[in-house]
Amino acid sequence: MLGLFAGLAPGPYTTMVAATGLERGFRVAVPIAMAPLVTDLPPMLVSTLVVGRLNWGALTLLGICGGVVVTMIGLRFLRTHGAILVTTPTGGPIEPTEASVRLGHVLTSNLLNPAPWIFWFVAAAPLLLAQWNASPARGIVFVIVLFLVNVSSATGLAWMAARARGVLAPINQRRALIGAGLTLMCAGGVMVWQALEGNFQSMIDGQRAVGGVLAR
């Protein structure tokens, strides 16, 4: 269930996975879907190995930087697909010359997104420690299954989006991608606002009791 939540929960990551599948196809979207194999390692290690937790300043900085990166990716979608009515001499839509989302974009935005850190500090890390304390083998299996379900569900989302390329008319594909760009811009703005309001720290403070129960 944790893996499904991480792989399919609405947010910048899933939006970029689906939009890349729709824009460039399944093969290009697969590395995007597999990004948590890299970007979730720092929050996993920090949340399980460091006794203390992230302070308000660190979460604020993460939220602001992550929100700016996500907003820039949304702007890139709008710049690439914004000219909906522009057509080629044959009457077909102009195809974009490059992908709006690159793997580096996703790695950067995921690393700077406070959501994975909160996910690990609040829920995943206490469960992982509980399994590890019972048996290191159980802890390893927990991590493998979590990441496997996470990446598999995101990859399935990329496949469905890629299949939509053969169903949606080109003009509707562009409209969907413009919608993805607007969604990412809104998500980036919300991330910055949440960081400035201290909401990320409040979420962790409010869930410490839950983490303690899960650890037991």
Sign of torsion, CA 59 62 68 74? negative
* Contact (Cβ atoms closer than 8 angstroms) between residue 151 and residue 110: no
User: What's the pLDDT at 137?
Assistant: 93
Calpha distance 171→158 (Å, rounded): 20
- Mean pLDDT on 168-190: 81
More confidently predicted of 57 and 75:
75
Q: Dump the DSSP string for 75-102.
A: HHHHHHH--TT-B-TTSPBPPPSS-SS-
User: What's the pLDDT at 203?
Assistant: 56
Q: Which pLDDT tens digit goes with each residue over 112-170?
A: 877 787 788 777 887 888 888 889 999 999 999 999 999 999 999 999 988 888 787 77
More confidently predicted of 214 and 69:
69
Q: In 3D, which of 9, 15, 58, 21 has the Cα closest to residue 168?
A: 21
User: What's the pLDDT at 214?
Assistant: 42
Q: In 3D, which of 73, 78, 38, 39 has the Cα closest to residue 174?
A: 78
Q: What pTM did the predictor assign? A: 0.68
Q: Which pLDDT tens digit goes with each residue over 84-111?
A: 444 444 444 445 445 666 778 788 887 8
User: What's the pLDDT at 148?
Assistant: 94
* Exposure of 65 in the CB half-sphere (CA atoms within 13 A): 15
CA angle 70, 71, 75 (to 5 degrees): 120
Q: Dump the DSSP string for 12-36.
A: HHHHHHHHHHHHH-HHHHHHHHTTH
Q: In 3D, which of 195, 197, 184 has the Cα closest to residue 64?
A: 195
Q: Which residue has the tokens 């995943």?
A: 124
Q: Which pLDDT tens digit goes with each residue over 20-66?
A: 888 888 998 899 899 999 888 888 888 777 644 556 677 777 778 87
